[in-house]
Structure 1
Amino acid sequence: MISQEIRKIAPEMDPLRRGMGWTTEDLAKPQIIIESAFGDSHPGSAHLLKFVDKAADGVNQSGGKAARYFATDICDGMAQGHDGINYSLASRDTIASLIEIHANATPFDAGVFISSCDKAVPSHLMSIGRLNIPAIIVTGGVMEAGPDLLTLEQIGAYSAMCQRGEITEEKLTYYKENACPSCGACSFMGTAATMQVMAEALGLMLPGSALMPATCEDLEEVALKAGIQAVKLAKMNLYPKDIVTIKSFENAILVHAAISGSSNSLLHLPAIAHEFGLYIDEKTFDSIHKNA
């Protein structure tokens, strides 16, 4: 395994890891990076630490040693309406580059990638293609809907109605205070939910785990199993580019048509394909959608 090869030529690595509490036995185990977008940046990432810890448990219980790394993302919803939105797409590539730095500065044998939202999920998929280490994705699911299926998507319309005098300021305040009742990705088929489905459609998640409710206890079990699976993938030497092919992207685009996924996938899937050494463009989407 690459981690053990690096130990032979980097003698400083062992004592530095011992300084973090690693045991002598830990040093010889398959070393698994757990990369997540956890942070108090928005509801799609604020809850991810519990899944990080569960994935680490899965790694450590199955004979590996987990190392937690973090690169939080920003929220398009919070960035809208001001100059902040200009940082949105740039953040995707920046996160992918930071993960590349994390995983190559200290090489790992496999990775678990945990995220939920618009730019974090694509950045993790891009990173997996770029690094090509055995890898599995865990997505943080979707938030609960508010009263009468209220979601964040409706807030812009209600704000405009308030400005026109069609609803009261108090009513708008009620909507704003109840549109996001839990952590998780926004509960409609926007970019975040779409890219969670795309990650599974590409074959990089445990089957059936995309778009689970963020509050569902079963999602913690998924994270645990993902950690176990990462160790298995490392021992099997099964790499993402062995799994993800041009057919995988064609399948994902077909799924995209079936779910009426976000058109922002036109930004993300070609970028992800590029990192896998593959090429798709808008014509690929058009052809598959027309024949769906």
Structure 2
Amino acid sequence: MRSDVIKVGLEKAGHRALLKSLGVVREELDKPLIAVVNSFSEIVAGHVHLRRLAEAVKQGVYAAGGIPFEVNTIAVCDGLAMGHEGMCYSLPSRDVIADSVELVVEAHRFDGMVLLPNCDKITPGMLMATARLNIPSIFVTGGPMLSGSYKGRRVGLASIIEAVGQVRAGKLSTEELEKLEDCACPGPGSCNGMFTAN
């Protein structure tokens, strides 16, 4: 196993001591170390629920005979970064994500990984890291946001964009727009429209 370089041999006593400080017991040292790469973030709708998903993944890894360790990377919400200087940071974040995943997995010699991405730049960033690392990997995405319901019709983020145009044209009141805002994005998940995140 790749992880033997931090678990096996006299010289690795310090490494083993550090692993034990994390809760690993001696009998587990022959098991594969699995990175659970999480992009959880409280500012990104597509990632706000990934902490719960990571807990389930870690239980599954442990039940299957591995030792899971959750590691994290960044996530930028293109929807919130849109229309101001923040958009200049979205695309570069993809490479930072790829680099950060590669760095932590190589530095700690993980044997495999389960990646928890969602949204525009995070999923490709993790895919780039997976291709570079070439170790056993599983992707578990956070999934799409459900559509909302407004006056009996399905609505989403695209409905908001269209409604802004209607307000500017005088065809919709700002009060109606606010009501639409309240129900267009009813919970976590990648943006509920035909955008690059889906």
**When the two structures are superposed, what TM-score results if normalisation uses the length of structure 2?**
0.93
Indicate the structure (1 or 2) with the bigger Cα radius of gyration: 2
Match of 1:134 in 2: 136
Q: Deviations over 1:161-184 (max 9, x none)?
A: 212322111111111111110111
Match of 2:99 in 1: 97
The structure 2 residue matched to 1:55, chosen from 49, 54, 57, is 57
Partners of 2:61 and 2:154 in 1: CA distance: 38
Q: Deviation of residue 104 (structure 1)?
A: 0.9
Partners of 1:72 and 1:38 in 2: CA distance: 8
Q: Deviation of residue 90 (structure 1)?
A: 0.4
Identity %: 36
Match of 2:25 in 1: 23
Q: Is the 8 A contact 2:6 2:16 kept in 1?
A: no
Match of 2:3 in 1: 3
Q: Deviation of residue 116 (structure 1)?
A: 1.3
Partners of 1:6 and 1:171 in 2: CA distance: 60
SS of aligned partner of 2:113 = strand
Match of 1:240 in 2: none
Partners of 2:169 and 2:34 in 1: CA distance: 54
Q: Deviation of residue 134 (structure 1)?
A: 0.7
The alignment covers a number of residue pairs equal to 193
Q: Deviations over 1:31-84 (max 9, x none)?
A: 100001111121100001121111111110111100001113111100011000
Is 1:175 matched with 2:177? no
Is 1:164 matched with 2:158? no
SS of aligned partner of 2:194 = coil
Partners of 1:39 and 1:10 in 2: CA distance: 35
Q: Deviation of residue 137 (structure 1)?
A: 0.5
Normalized per residue, the structure richer in helix is: 1
Q: Deviation of residue 94 (structure 1)?
A: 0.5
SS of aligned partner of 1:41 = coil
Aligned ranges 1:205-284 → 2 under 5 Å: none
- Residue range with higher mean Cα deviation, 159-168 or 177-186: 159-168
- Residue range with higher mean Cα deviation, 180-189 or 3-12: 3-12
SS of aligned partner of 1:139 = coil
SS of aligned partner of 2:105 = helix
Q: Deviation of residue 5 (structure 1)?
A: 2.8
Q: Deviation of residue 101 (structure 1)?
A: 1.0
Normalized per residue, the structure richer in strand is: 2
Which structure 1 residue ranges, 5 or more long, are not aligned? 194-292
Q: Is the 8 A contact 1:41 1:72 kept in 2?
A: no
Q: Deviation of residue 24 (structure 1)?
A: 1.4
Which structure 2 residue ranges, 5 or more long, are not aligned? none
